[in-house]
Amino acid sequence: MNRCPQEERLGAYADGELEAAEAAVIEAHLAVCDACAREAAAIRALDRLVAELPTPAVSPADWRGAWAGIAARIAPGHRVVQRSPWRRVALFAAAAAACLAIVAGAVALRPRPVAKPPERARECIVEDIEAGVGFAASVSYAADSDVTLITVSPLSSEEAPADAPNGSAL
């Protein structure tokens, strides 16, 4: 819906608040725009109805009493604060949220146990030892251990002696 640019100033025109030059522009517009002319006529009719209303008689004493009441209500010591019952609920919810945030932060930032690095492998000593013909042998042990591993293996199946039981020379 398109509005006339002059529509916003019709109230001021009908109330006689515009200067002569502006009023002349509005009058020229009203001559060509039926919608604005109807709106201006409605505003003038409303102004006439309001002007016909009786003016309430207010005595100076009534005005003084009204001003005294207003002054008493805005006096520094006379403040009646009416708080919403939801205020306490909102404060409790805010406090609970703050506590929850603190607990969550403490849990998230607490130190965690660090996994121990794996122990270094022990130093192992491997020595070749003399074995029978067609066999290789070695001994493996750690200096700080009571375990010793002796390994004997054929060099090849063709080289193993025929008289060796189950293919072992030892």
Q: In angstroms, how far is CA 97 from the centroid of its own chain?
A: 14
**17-74 per-position pLDDT tens digit:** 999 999 999 999 999 999 999 999 999 999 899 889 888 888 888 888 888 888 877 7
User: Considering the entire predicted model, what is its pTM?
Assistant: 0.35
Other C-beta atoms lying within 10 Å of the C-beta of residue 56: 6
pLDDT score at 158: 58
CB neighbour list of residue 29: distance below 8 Å, 6 or more residues apart: 4, 6, 36
**110-145 per-position pLDDT tens digit:** 888 888 777 766 677 778 888 777 788 888 877 777
What domains can be seen in the chain, in order of their start residue? Answer: 7-80 (1.10.10), 124-167 (no CATH)
Q: Quick one: which of 155, 104, 105, 127 has its CA closest to 167?
A: 155
- Ordered strands of the 135-142 beta sheet: 124-129, 135-142, 148-154
* Both tokens assigned to 27: 């009058």
